[in-house]
Amino acid sequence: MPLFDSLYNFAQWLTHDREEAEDLVQETYSKALKGFPSFQQGTNFRAWMYRILRNTFLTSRTGLKSSMTVSLDSEEGESVQPTTMETPESLLLDRGNRQMVQQAIEELPLIFREVILLCDVEEMSYQEIAETISIPVGTVMSRLARARNALRVGLTRKMQGD
Amino acid sequence: MACDLWRDKIAAYADAELPSEEMRAMAGHLRGCASCTADLLGRVQLKRAVANAGNRFTPSIDLRERIQKGLPPKEKSFSPWAWMPKLAVAAAFMAIAFLLFREWPVGRQGQTFAELADLHVATLASANPVDVVSSDRHTVKPWFQGKLPFTFNLPELAGTPFTLEGGRVSYLGQAPGAQLIFRIAKHRISVFIFQDRPAFRFSPGDSRSRRATFNVETWAEQDLRYIFMGDADPSDVHKLSELLKAVTRP
């Protein structure tokens, strides 16, 4: 059951709570089993499962509290900031500070956290992410750019606080 | 095209999301632009850091067992016909399990490839990509003596389109290995040689694929894992692989 580990990992990143994550994953499988006849063969099964998990989370009390804390205005026009040789990420990698990256991801608003985790941890394509969180591919790209910029800012702040 | 225009596409390039034509064009630009290459390196490093940090939480065995039983959560009532929906649930569960195994991408294996892609990109972006600079296999191979817990053979390249540029010691999963750089035309191919380990999650046989825009080929022989990675044509990567294979396989 390989997808199980990834779904659980994603669930705990969303909920920040072990018990809630367990309930969320269990409910996801339960809904998937009940709704399996509605799954269209040939469409993306992974995106379908993650969409169930995400929608279930968003309708939970924790999900309602943590969603939509960032303005979604002008997502399409996000500029892409270039990185430099002295990037926080290269410094972090040098130091091997995994915990600091985890804290910086944790502090991201939900809409940034989910998109960056789906892309970089779950290795989903832009199209898969678009299907999972039900937004256009262009919005996935701009939201990813904003998420990564926010992560860089967070990492830089953490390193300056060293 | 000015760098500003390329820069808008670097994120999509790092995510392997550009159309193949643009991927090739971007790779060509990166070979001649240190600034964009440094930008790309930063983005790849951030992706890598997130990938490493993001795999954080492990589900309990208890949760796995509960779900594997296919029991819906918090269902406590019992009816004499309870076995019927459970049978349907079990059938649906089997179908889902089948889909999971069929469609599941090589996620963890993908991470190994991502690490190798990082090493390849970082090496090419470096001012000193190799520690032993020589096109002579009799110079490069002995340089690794005492640095690696294994040895390997290098082919004679005279009469082939390939040139050996040199090598360096590289690390994958904290284990040392060789990274050799070969050139064909203007393309450079990294050949990684590591002691094969199950943790790498490679398939047992030979495999050829395209990862993060790079053409990749890998196979194992005599407990060593050979991985070929570069932006050269897949047939060129394969030719180089065959040359190495010819001097490796008994």
How close A115 gets to chain B, by Cα (Å)? 12
Question: Which CATH architecture fits A2-66?
Answer: Orthogonal Bundle (1.10)
Domain end call among B54, B70, B93:
B54
Q: Is residue B156 part of a domain?
A: yes
Q: Which of B54, B70, B98 is the endpoint of a domain?
A: B54
Amino acid letter, B217: E
Domain ranges of chain A: 2-66, 88-160
Those of residues 106-125 in B touching chain A at CB distance below 8 A are 107, 110
Rounded CA-CA distance A72/B111 in Å is 31
B170 is in which domain, residue-wise? 108-248
Determine whether the interchain pair A85/B42 forms a contact, defined as Cβ–Cβ distance below 8 Å.
yes
**Which residues on B lie below 8 Å from A38 (Cβ)?**
none
pLDDT at A45 over 90: no
Query: What's the pLDDT at A108?
Result: 94
Say if CB B17 and CB B8 are below 8 A apart.
Answer: no
How confident is the model over A72-98, as a mean pLDDT?
54
Q: Is A134 left (phi over 0), alpha (psi -120 to 50) or beta?
A: left
Which ipTM did the prediction report?
Answer: 0.84
For A82-99, what is the mean pLDDT? 57
Number of H helices, E strands in chain B: 8, 7
Say yes or no: B50 and B129 in one domain. Answer: no
Mean pLDDT of A27-40: 82
Q: Taking CA atoms, what residue in B is nearest to A93?
A: B49
Query: Residues A125, A96: contact at Cβ < 8 Å?
Result: no
- Residue in the block written with tokens 């968003």: A58
- A28, pLDDT greater than 50: yes
pLDDT of residue B78: 46
User: Same domain, yes or no, for B125 and B19?
Assistant: no
Average pLDDT over residues A130-159: 92
Same domain, B42 and B165: no
CATH number, residue B230? 3.30.200.100
Residue B82 lies in a domain: no
Q: Number of folded domains in chain B?
A: 2
A88-160 topology per CATH: Arc Repressor Mutant, subunit A (1.10.10)
The answer to whether B38 contacts A27, with C-beta atoms less than 8 Å apart, is: no
What is the full DSSP assignment across A82-143? Answer: PP-TT-HHHHHHHHT-HHHHHHHHHTS-HHHHHHHHHHHTS---HHHHHHHHT--HHHHHHH
- The model's confidence at residue A90, banded by pLDDT at 50, 70 and 90, is low
pTM: 0.57
Residue A99's pLDDT band (cuts 50, 70, 90): confident
Mean pLDDT of A58-82: 62
Cα A60 from Cα A133, distance rounded (Å) = 16
| C-beta atoms of B52 and A101 within 8 A | yes
Q: Are residues B126 and B43 in the same domain?
A: no
- B138 vs A97: which has the higher pLDDT: B138
What is the reported pLDDT for B145? Answer: 86
Predicted local distance difference test score (pLDDT) of residue B44: 87
User: B50 and A145: CB-CB below 8 Å?
Assistant: no
Question: Based on the domain organization, do B239 and B172 belong to the same domain?
Answer: yes
> Does the pLDDT at position A86 exceed 60?
no
Any domain includes B91: no
**Do B16 and B125 sit in the same domain of this protein?**
no
| pLDDT values of chain B reduced to their tens digit, one per residue, 250 residues | 568 788 888 999 999 898 888 888 888 888 888 888 888 888 888 888 888 888 888 888 888 888 877 755 444 444 555 556 666 666 766 666 666 555 444 455 567 777 888 888 888 877 778 888 888 888 889 888 888 888 999 998 888 899 999 999 888 877 889 999 999 988 899 999 998 877 666 665 557 776 656 888 988 888 899 999 998 888 999 999 999 999 987 7
| Out of A38-42, A139-143, B162-166, least confident range | A38-42
Q: Does B69 touch chain A (CB under 8 A)?
A: no
Instruction: For A92, name the nearest residue in chain B, comparing CA atoms only.
Output: B49
pLDDT of residue A81: 54
Q: Is residue B100 part of a domain?
A: no
Q: Which of B18, B37, B54 is the C-terminal boundary of a domain?
A: B54
